[in-house]
Amino acid sequence: MKNMIIASTSTIYGSGYLEYILKDLQIHFKDVNTILFVPFARPGGMTHDAYTETARQAFSKINIDVVGLHTFKNAITAIEQAEAIFVGGGNTFVLVNELYKTNSLQALITAVKHGTPYLGTSAGSNICGLTMNTTNDMPIVYPPSFKTLGLVPFNINPHYLDPDTNSKHMGETRETRIKEFMCFNTQPVVGIREGSWLQVKGDSITLKGTLSARIFELNKTPYELASGSELNSLK
């Protein structure tokens, strides 16, 4: 049974890394001693070791150890044997490219479907959808495919931003870009605002946090979904 937290971000304004969600993570990972961390997205170009240390320091506050996937010779075996998995944020193109390069994608799908607790933030959340095509990131590398984990039956746009009515920027809004995506794709898109997350338990998907989510469906006007709502029928 899938057991996932798919969070928009790792850090909200005025809060440390994972601090805003740490109490929920303590419950989510209550039977876990060590988390396998996937640092491939490399935010800001930081090293895998440095990124893993950032995650390790956060989880030490709830007495959970963290080990980086990059330290294992065989990524597939490491995923298969993991107590829990955390895929961190950064650049989605870099993350997906590395998952394909290490043949880790299918191993992650299988592990999560078999009940390994999963946490994704930012890019690590974007890849939980059907494809990575609704990422906000620059295409700085070219992965073999944009197809990702498909652990929820829609696409995800982390860090969803509403138009700033005080801004003089005349370019595209996030909503405009997602509407462009909908012109060529049929799957729904869930825009998750900062500090919100999806809780997945088996086939149940629930929006958590204090903010609503923005939902985009084919041939429908985008609409808001309140925190606490289920997304099970969204396909």
The CATH number linked to 20 is 3.40.50.880
Q: How far apart are CA 205 and CA 39, in angstroms?
A: 25
Question: By percentage, how much of the chain surpasses pLDDT 90?
Answer: 93
> Looking at 15, 24, 48, 159, which residue is catalytic?
159
Assigned domain for 60 exists = yes
Polymer length in residues for the chain: 235
Assigned domain for 235 exists = no
Q: How far apart are CA 110 and CA 7, in angstroms?
A: 20
Of 28, 62, 29, 55, which Cα lies nearest the Cα of 41? 55
Q: How far apart are CA 191 and CA 3, in angstroms?
A: 21
The pair of three-digit structure tokens given for residue 234, joined into one six-digit string: 């969204």
For residue 122, indicate whether it is catalytic. yes
- 34: containing domain: 3-225
Q: How far apart are CA 22 and CA 19, in angstroms?
A: 5
For residue 24, indicate whether it is catalytic. no
Assigned domain for 232 exists = no
Q: In the predicted model, what is the mean pLDDT of residues 8-19?
A: 95
For residue 137, indicate whether it is catalytic. yes
Assigned domain for 233 exists = no
Has residue 166 got a pLDDT over 90? Answer: no
> Looking at 8, 70, 137, 212, which residue is catalytic?
137
> Looking at 8, 10, 104, 122, which residue is catalytic?
122
Average pLDDT, the chain: 96
The pair of three-digit structure tokens given for residue 101, joined into one six-digit string: 């390069």
Sequence-distant (≥ 6) Cβ neighbours of residue 133 within 8 angstroms: 146, 155, 181, 185
157 or 166, greater pLDDT: 157
Assigned domain for 179 exists = yes
Name the β-bridge partners of 137.
none
pLDDT tens track for 56-81: 999 999 999 999 999 999 999 999 99
